[in-house]
Structure 1
Amino acid sequence: MAAVTPNRLRWGALLWVLTLQFFVVEAVAQARWTGPYSRADEVISALGTADSPARQLMNASFVVQAALILGGALLLLPVLRGAAARAVPALLGAAALGVLLVGVFPTDGNGTVHAVGAVLHLAGGALGLIALAYAVRPISESLGTVVVLLGIVATAGTVFFLTGVTRYLGEGGMERAAAYPLPIALALSGAVLWWLGRGGDLAAVESSRRAERECERARLAEQARARDAALESAVGGDRRTGADDEDPGTDPEDPWAPPRQRG
């Protein structure tokens, strides 16, 4: 695994913090929308269609978002801990691919590819946040708790949006409940990981983990030695017993033979 250098940590954190650009661009695109625009009724993708005066800006934001999500995940991978860390790049990579497809193929251009991209982005992002929560929890339990809560909100929003359960929040509102937690959680995670690394807490965590691994290896080695010693003792005892049983000088029918030699 690659080392967690200060530059790598800084740039990875910065990329995830910059995912907040999505909210800025969305607000600009909404402001330039001709006529009223309701975030509850209109989906995000509408801002990237031909009806949107800021469609090029919005679609460019989607493409940039893909690079920010994936780039941050790859740079910060050495910081993450546990088995869940291996799933984070794959799931967030799927989310990045999805938002890339959304930006390259607007809904009024190639609706099928756009829909596939939207599903990938929402589902990959929601599951990626849950995996990320477990991967950062050994470093910061508070961060892990916040991220997993955002992941649960994103997962619920994704399920409701894809199944058409949009009565209370509207189609656009439910889509935003599914999509908004990802950049928020990534920006928060990037900032916290950078701050902990700056204060040396990540190094302390790594040192503690290394000490735990050394203790575990020593414990396993001691168990192996004890097991080998027990096996050698058992094999030695069997050999001695066999040698006594095969002693030609011992008559099992001899009533005057010592108790140890009687059959």
Structure 2
Amino acid sequence: MTRLRWGAALWTLCLLTFPAQVIAAAQWPNPYSWSSNFISDLGVTACRTFDAGTRVERYICSPGHLLANGSTVANGALMAVGAVLLWSAWPRQRTGKTAMSFVAAGGVLVMLVGFLAWDVYPEAHDAVALAQALMQWIGMAFLVFALKGSTAARWASALTLASVTLSIAGFVLFIDAISGGPSISLGLGITERLAFDTLTVWGAVLGVILLMTTLGHRSTSSNQEAILGSAPTTSPGA
């Protein structure tokens, strides 16, 4: 299997974080609420009431926190390594490499989110999670411009644009919900997952598209492999 196929496969494997979360949630003595609890609640290491006296006060006890946090670390590693392997996979290679730099950085930050349990390092956890989203949004925006040529590239570009738009919209709703705005009726957990889980699903679906696309095209500008159609011949520096 080629380096590019390995990269696409690693991105597809990011979906494994979801069954890991389901298993961790199933171990809660009190039911985990997918609509009301935060994603990070699954990785909390202590059993007690958090955010007492606030609109998000909740009791958390997650015996499967090691699995939840470990799956987050693995998710970030798969995304980061996959981005490195897919470094030259895009029709517009210079823009694609910039995109992969940001996506890889986002993957490393996802790993840090898993290492920094929210109840132990709350400020660092939240700051790194926000930085991760920003890195991935920027990378996805660059990737939209790096994709052109074949039908598969256009589908991948549309997927990326739709996903980054949905993720940012979800984040806005999430902030509104935390602040007690109208979006709270949607559920804190749902709005947070729109913001962050959309990024994981995007990477996995794009990985599937890449695996289904004919590989082995050569870039006329750098003589490297490219997926989703040959690199443009008129503007090597695009």
Question: 2:88–2:97: 8 Å Cα contact kept in structure 1?
Answer: no
Greater percentage in strand: 2
Stretches of 4+ aligned residues off by more than 3 angstroms = 162-166, 198-204
Q: Which has the larger radius of gyration?
A: 1
2:43 equivalent in structure 1: 48
Render the CA deviation track for 1:174-229: whole Å, top value 9, x for unaligned.
Answer: 110001111211111112122213486957932x734x469xxxxxxxxxxxxxxx
SS in 1 for 2:212: helix
- Offset at residue 35 of structure 1 (A): 1.3
Aligned match of 2:208: 191
1:225-244 mapped onto 2 (5 Å cutoff): none
Q: Judge conservation of contact 1:87–1:128 (CA < 8 Å) in 2.
A: yes
CA contact (8 A) 2:7 2:83 kept: yes
Cα 1:91/1:199, change in 2 over 3 Å: closer
- Within 2, Cα distance between the matches of 1:158 and 1:185? 16
Higher relative contact order structure (alpha carbons within 8 Å, sequence separation ≥ 6): 2
Aligned residue for 1:205?
Answer: 229
Match of 1:225 in 2: none
**Aligned partners of 2:235, 2:95: CA distance in 1, in Å?**
18
- 2:42 and 2:185 map into 1 onto residues whose CA distance is 22
More off after superposition, 61-70 vs 28-37:
28-37
- Calculate percent identity across the aligned residue pairs: 29
Aligned residues: 207
Partner of 2:5: 10
Structure 2 residues without counterparts, runs of 5 or longer: 46-60, 219-225
Question: Could you list the runs of 5+ residues in structure 1 that have no partner in the other structure?
Answer: 1-5, 215-263
8 Å Cα contact 1:101-1:113 kept in structure 2: no
TM-score relative to the length of structure 1: 0.71
After superposition, the CA RMSD in angstroms is 2.4
CA contact (8 A) 1:47 1:54 kept: yes
Distance 1:98 1:168, change over 3 A: farther
Shift of 1:26: 1.0
Give distance in 1, aligned partners of 2:195 and 2:228.
Answer: 35
How big is the shift at 1:111? 0.9
Structure whose residues are more often helix by fraction: 1
Give the match for residue 93 of structure 1.
104
Aligned partner of 1:116 among 115, 127, 131: 127
Q: Who is 1:106 aligned against? A: 117
Closer, same or farther: CA 94–48 of 1 in aligned 2, 3 Å: same
